[in-house]
A and B are shown apart, each in its own frame.
Chain A
Amino acid sequence: MLRRPASARYIALLLALALALASVPAWAPRFWIYIATQALIFAIFAMSLDLLLGYAGLPSFGHAAFYGVGAYACALLALREVDGLAPLLLVGAVAAALAAVPIGALSLRTTGIYFLMLTLAFAQMLWGLAVNWISLTRGTDGLIGIPRPTLPGLATLNITFYERGAFFILCLVVAIVTFVSLQALARSPFGKTLEGIRENERRMRALGCPTFRYRFAAFVVAAAFAGVAGALAAMSNGYATPDLLYWTGSGLALVAVVVGGARSLIGPVLGAFFVLFAQLGLSTFVERWELILGTLFIAFVLFLPGGLVGLVRRT
């Protein structure tokens, strides 16, 4: 049930998955490349939530706030004529991390149900801000006309991010970097201490560990990754709107993490693809995707709490 050292077979599987994904632009129709891009962005968001939920044991219902903050920060910068990829991603991460500082400082004084509700409340507060601070965010109209970023290396090769599949590959690279970084983090001394705090905070404190600081760090790091996902979303769609921060976004991310399998990082990736294909893919064929997703989700929570990954581990 707990993390085992990665076996050679597991790594091979991951590599195969990465390669398969990398090949997508070559054969898939544009519409499905778009959906896959959205799924990758959502996967990055879900992985950041797994750091909070699965590794730190913090059930946050307001994580979408950081996703949205990242999107808006990126949008605001892009609309001010900055188009380099690095600054745009960075500003998403930094803005989200900055937002996480006061929210984390206040919310992490509580645990369990209070934490859940506080994070939800703060996220809704930010949503309210996005809707009402019209001079900055243009309210429900949102910020539109966000161009794709540029990367100096690509320009010399005469490729832009408007090319078919180019932005998809970018998202894939960021997703892989996120996955590897979070895996490393989980196995680091920091990650192991976080695990101890999750398993028995009282004991950790009795052993001299300042648990608040570790949780706070995890909260901010998770927010930063969510911010990166948000920035990618803004650049992918070309706009940033308040509904990115709405609590149902946090809910769907939780669905992705749980269905995929918490504390595995690959689980949330699978879950993200699952949720997104249900949301965008299914809805073209089936009108009532929410019903199906909701029912499936209920089934998972009741019968497969370990998610898809848990299912695989059992067999």
Chain B
Amino acid sequence: MEVSVARLTVRFGALAALNRVDISVATGERRAVIGPNGAGKTTLLNVIAGELQPTEGTVHLGERDATSLPTWRRARLGLGRTFQRSTLFSRLTVVENLALAIRARRRDSWRFWPVGDRALNEEVKGRLEASGLAHLAGRTAARLGHGERRILEVELALAASPSALLLDEPMAGLSAGERQTTLGRLRSLPKDVTVVIVEHDLDAVFALAERVTVLDHGVKIADGPAAEVRADPRVQEVYLGPI
């Protein structure tokens, strides 16, 4: 699914968190959005996901103008996301967390009597194994380590089988091993899933992304193939200061 924003502006009072940003991500593309702190990256994700209404501009998901759609409708169109701060079902176990995500995807929860669901259990098991969380199945999310929580955070989004995935700093705070696992998980996503990843970890960014968009103070200052952006002096200036 294509993801695009046009002339996107988000103002908080006098502050423009995003200022006439145009971004277009093709179906199946791996796009990274980078920039220093306060650049507006998370705001961008929040607007695409529908948690924030833009002051001006539009959001398109596929062919559809999604600007006025609520979050859950966009998710139903195929948009998945992770949050910068892990947003899990803390008091539930890892298994229950995943089960909820799968149930939400299947949209068949309007049944009012208990049902045994073998397919559900099988899928939960499969995802637990693929993500390396199998040994933590019965643990409540609140009692996971930080890295484990981040992995579950990504797994929940993946369990919804999105056709476009927004990732907000998935690598933050992960150990080297956890980073490898997550990178592997993301790399193994089907080719037609669009991925937009906001990250500070530039190694992961350039390992994963085909194109990179750079934001600074709410303005897009670069947008192109990863190698080009890496070499762009303006981008280096923004990260390293004027040379």
Cα–Cα, bound, A45→B215 (Å): 56
- Asked if A209 and B89 make an inter-chain contact with CB atoms under 8 angstroms apart, the answer reads no
- Asked if A192 and B112 make an inter-chain contact with CB atoms under 8 angstroms apart, the answer reads no
Residues 190-221 of chain A, each 1 if its beta carbon lies under 8 Å from chain B, else 0: 11110110011011111111110010000000
- Asked if B100 and A193 make an inter-chain contact with CB atoms under 8 angstroms apart, the answer reads yes
Closest A-chain residue to B117, C-beta based? Answer: A189
Q: How large is the interface on A (under 10, 10 to 19, 20 to 34, 35 or more residues)?
A: 20 to 34
Cα–Cα, bound, A187→B116 (Å): 10
- Asked if A189 and B109 make an inter-chain contact with CB atoms under 8 angstroms apart, the answer reads yes
Is the C-beta of A1 less than 8 angstroms from some C-beta in chain B? yes
Cα–Cα, bound, A188→B100 (Å): 12
Is the C-beta of A177 less than 8 angstroms from some C-beta in chain B? no
- Asked if A203 and B99 make an inter-chain contact with CB atoms under 8 angstroms apart, the answer reads no
| Residue with the highest number of chain B CB atoms closer than 10 Å, among A192, A208, A214 | A208
Cα–Cα, bound, A225→B16 (Å): 51
B91 cross-chain contacts in A, Cβ below 8 A: 1-2, 199
A190 cross-chain contacts in B, Cβ below 8 A: 109-112
Main secondary structure of the interface of B (DSSP, over half): loop
| Residue with the highest number of chain A CB atoms closer than 10 Å, among B90, B108, B114, B115 | B114
Is the C-beta of B41 less than 8 angstroms from some C-beta in chain A? no
Is the C-beta of A184 less than 8 angstroms from some C-beta in chain B? yes
B115 cross-chain contacts in A, Cβ below 8 A: 188-189
> What's the nearest-Cβ distance from chain A to residue B128, in Å?
18
Of B70-78, B195-203, B230-238, the stretch lying at the interface with chain A is B70-78
- Asked if B109 and A208 make an inter-chain contact with CB atoms under 8 angstroms apart, the answer reads no
Is the C-beta of B105 less than 8 angstroms from some C-beta in chain A? yes
Contact surface of A with B, Cβ cutoff 8 Å: 1-2, 184-185, 187-193, 195-196, 199-200, 202-211, 214
What are some 21 contacts across the A-B interface (CB < 8 A)?
Answer: A185-B113, A188-B115, A189-B115, A190-B111, A191-B112, A192-B99, A192-B103, A192-B109, A193-B103, A195-B92, A199-B89, A200-B88, A202-B51, A202-B87, A203-B156, A206-B49, A206-B157, A207-B75, A207-B105, A207-B160, A208-B104
**6 closest residue pairs by CB, A with B:** A208-B75, A207-B104, A189-B109, A187-B114, A196-B100, A193-B109
Given A205-B75, A206-B83, 15 additional A-B pairs, CB 8 A: A1-B91, A184-B114, A188-B113, A189-B115, A190-B110, A190-B112, A192-B96, A196-B92, A200-B89, A200-B90, A206-B87, A207-B80, A207-B100, A208-B72, A208-B107
